[in-house]
Chain A
Amino acid sequence: MAFNRRDFLKISAGAAGAATLGGLSGCATPGARAKAKVVVVGGGFGGATCARYIKIWDPGIDVTVIEMNDKFVSCPFSNTVLGGISDMEDITHGYDGLKKDGVRLVKDEVVGIDAAKRVVKCKSGATFNYDRLVLSGGIELRPELIPGFDAAAQQTVMHAWKAGPQTATLRKQLEAMPNGGVFVISIPGMPYRCPPGPYERISMVANYFKQKKPKSKVIALDTNSDIVSKKGLFMAAWDKHYKGMIEYRPSSKPVRIDAKTRTVVLDVEDVKADVLNVIPPMRAHAMTAAAGVRNDNDNWCKVNFTTLESTAVPYVHVIGDSISAPTPKSGSMANNYGKICAAAIVELINGRQPDASPVITNTCFSATTGHTAIHVAAVWRLEGDKWVTPKGASGVSKEESEMEWAYMTGWAKNIWADTLNL
């Protein structure tokens, strides 16, 4: 990375006289300023990437990541765990690489944010001052919006929409289910994390049933009025590989659930499951509310896309699934938003102006069987405050293929490496 650094210093020298006019936090006379502090909350695809790239692009900035889990568990590929193709170890990684980058990693949970004093308070009692704060906590699931999905129900009915213990439990439930059983998945209305995710999950469970429990069935109860992502490709795959095994029902919002009988009550009928998987509605993580930045109808966070800084509270940046954006809530997007945010923070701290027209890309693979996959990809360019896709710069696979399965595994290796310095 010596090349970037040199380029950077050249510009830095040119701007030295002007830097003090920036009026920015952590920015005083060059050479004499205290180390600027960035605190990143959440070590997922967004937060870990952002922290790492700040250190790569300006090692002089002090970067702390506050993460409540010991390890990173990847949501992408977690559906293959449910399908018995991968195991939990395959999607679990440590944070040692981030430490090698010079990022300070703190295992703790954020309980309060004082945006006026620029202090983050943690459960342990520890507090962290910041010049710039990056919130990358992902999503807050809202089971309370589905009557019956109470604390007791949550012991047996999994969402498995945050990879981890829920993924392992749902896999065990599928393994324990008798041949001839019914797996019911309830899909929330858009927007939600990973638009193609539920349809990939349907495919992976059906793939497992086909091999091990061929009399079994999948019933998908979709709150949306249609399949929201890669529709033609998923339908073709279901028809080709799982004919008669998958029943897809659009506009099927759960009225309530009964965990004891594993039943989803709809407007028109009750649907009983042997294994029930309910993905409830979701919104930006609770700490974004604590910081006062969940300003899109108290659901998502509006940001300035050149910096990912909140439109509501200065010095607070939000990245990943928490933001209000026309772009999808995917791991690839979180990873790349993390970099735009990192570059902007480095520029701002050094008294320079962030890139006014960044380019961002998404590539999102979904497995359709244990050896085939499909993708959706797009490029967005920021024009003013709108993300615009150039002609031809978006679309999906022509058809599922084994090559895409290989690319999907390559994508996973590389994004995990890029996010965590593996």
Chain B
Amino acid sequence: MKQTIVLALLAAGTLGMVSAQAADVRVMAANCAYCHGPDGKSQGPIPSLAGLDKGYFIQQMKDFKSGERPSVVMQKHALGYTEEECRKLAEWFAAVK
């Protein structure tokens, strides 16, 4: 059991450090802020992301990727993220009050 933990830590990187999985989503969500506003709260004509329904967000990202939903900028951004990341981002923005 102890050995397993040590191996897991070694596999994750430097011993004694925990990889920052939670930080991933935080930083990834923050990537969106320069267009969609801090915490996804937009001040201008670009839509806000804060509080969007999770399912709606995931579907929009899919539709941007496929071109089903025409876009000016978003197809390129959507294609940069995996499905798993889109889901995490959807959860993230859905939780913003």
Q: How many residues of B contact A (CB 8 A)?
A: 42
Query: Beta-carbon contacts of A322-350 to B below 8 Å, as 1s and 0s?
Result: 00000000011001100110010011000
Judge if A236 is at the interface, Cβ distance under 8 Å.
no
Tell me the bound Cα distance from A352 to B22 in angstroms: 11
- Residue of B27, B32, B36 touching A340 (CB-CB under 8 A): B27
CB of A410 within 8 A of CB of B18, answer no
Judge if A15 is at the interface, Cβ distance under 8 Å.
yes
Chain B residues lying within 8 Å of A397, measured Cβ to Cβ, are: 72
Query: Beta-carbon contacts of B8-32 to A below 8 Å, as 1s and 0s?
Result: 0000111111111111101110111
- Among residues of A, the one whose C-beta sits closest to the C-beta of B24 is A355
CB of B17 within 8 A of CB of A404, answer no
Tell me the bound Cα distance from A377 to B72 in angstroms: 10
- Residue of A331, A346, A394, A413 touching B44 (CB-CB under 8 A): A413
- Among residues of B, the one whose C-beta sits closest to the C-beta of A405 is B45
Query: Beta-carbon contacts of B75-95 to A below 8 Å, as 1s and 0s?
Result: 111011100010000000001
CB of A394 within 8 A of CB of B20, answer no
CB of A410 within 8 A of CB of B46, answer yes
Chain A interface extent, by class: 35 or more
Judge if A407 is at the interface, Cβ distance under 8 Å.
yes
Chain A residues lying within 8 Å of B20, measured Cβ to Cβ, are: 11, 343, 347, 352-355
CB of A356 within 8 A of CB of B15, answer no
- With A336-B30, A353-B13, A359-B31 given, is the CB distance from A395 to B76 under 8 Å? yes
Tell me the bound Cα distance from A211 to B49 in angstroms: 39
Tell me the bound Cα distance from A389 to B80 in angstroms: 7
- Residue of B23, B30, B43 touching A354 (CB-CB under 8 A): B23
Q: Of the listed stretches A158-166, A266-274, A414-422, name the one at the interface; the rest are far from the partner chain.
A: A414-422
Judge if A34 is at the interface, Cβ distance under 8 Å.
no
- Residue of A10, A339, A417 touching B30 (CB-CB under 8 A): A339
Chain A residues lying within 8 Å of B32, measured Cβ to Cβ, are: 361
CB of B34 within 8 A of CB of A353, answer no
Judge if B73 is at the interface, Cβ distance under 8 Å.
yes
- Residue of A19, A381, A411 touching B34 (CB-CB under 8 A): A411
CB of A417 within 8 A of CB of B37, answer yes
Judge if B38 is at the interface, Cβ distance under 8 Å.
yes
Tell me the bound Cα distance from A151 to B13 in angstroms: 52
CB of A355 within 8 A of CB of B23, answer yes
Chain A residues lying within 8 Å of B22, measured Cβ to Cβ, are: 4, 7-8, 10-11
CB of A339 within 8 A of CB of B31, answer yes
- Among residues of B, the one whose C-beta sits closest to the C-beta of A53 is B30
Judge if A57 is at the interface, Cβ distance under 8 Å.
yes
Tell me the bound Cα distance from A392 to B80 in angstroms: 8
CB of A414 within 8 A of CB of B34, answer yes
Chain A residues lying within 8 Å of B39, measured Cβ to Cβ, are: 1
Chain B residues lying within 8 Å of A411, measured Cβ to Cβ, are: 34-35, 44, 46
- Residue of A1, A352, A360, A404 touching B72 (CB-CB under 8 A): A404
CB of A343 within 8 A of CB of B27, answer yes
Judge if B42 is at the interface, Cβ distance under 8 Å.
yes
Judge if B52 is at the interface, Cβ distance under 8 Å.
no
Tell me the bound Cα distance from A7 to B23 in angstroms: 9
Tell me the bound Cα distance from A361 to B14 in angstroms: 28
- A273-308 contacts to B, CB under 8 A, are none
Chain B residues lying within 8 Å of A223, measured Cβ to Cβ, are: none
Chain A residues lying within 8 Å of B31, measured Cβ to Cβ, are: 336, 339, 359-361
Chain A residues lying within 8 Å of B77, measured Cβ to Cβ, are: 361, 363, 377, 379, 393
Tell me the bound Cα distance from A397 to B34 in angstroms: 18
Q: How far is the CB of B31 from chain A (nearest CB, A)?
A: 5
Q: How far is the CB of A212 from chain B (nearest CB, A)?
A: 28
Tell me the bound Cα distance from A393 to B73 in angstroms: 10
Q: How far is the CB of A193 from chain B (nearest CB, A)?
A: 17
CB of B34 within 8 A of CB of A410, answer no
Chain B residues lying within 8 Å of A21, measured Cβ to Cβ, are: 15-17
- Between A and B, 14 residue pairs with Cβ closer than 8 Å are A8-B22, A22-B17, A352-B17, A353-B14, A355-B23, A358-B27, A379-B77, A379-B79, A389-B80, A391-B79, A393-B79, A407-B72, A414-B42, A415-B33
Closest 10 CB pairs of A and B: A379-B80, A410-B44, A21-B16, A393-B80, A353-B17, A410-B46, A392-B79, A415-B34, A418-B33, A393-B79
- Apart from A356-B13, A404-B72, 13 more pairs, CB < 8 Å: A3-B95, A4-B26, A10-B22, A15-B17, A21-B16, A22-B14, A354-B20, A359-B81, A379-B80, A406-B45, A410-B45, A414-B33, A414-B36
Q: Which residues of A contact B (CB under 8 A)?
A: 1, 3-4, 7-8, 10-11, 14-15, 18-19, 21-22, 53, 57, 331-332, 335-336, 339-340, 343, 346-347, 351-356, 358-361, 363, 375, 377-381, 389-395, 397, 401, 403-404, 406-407, 409-415, 417-418, 421
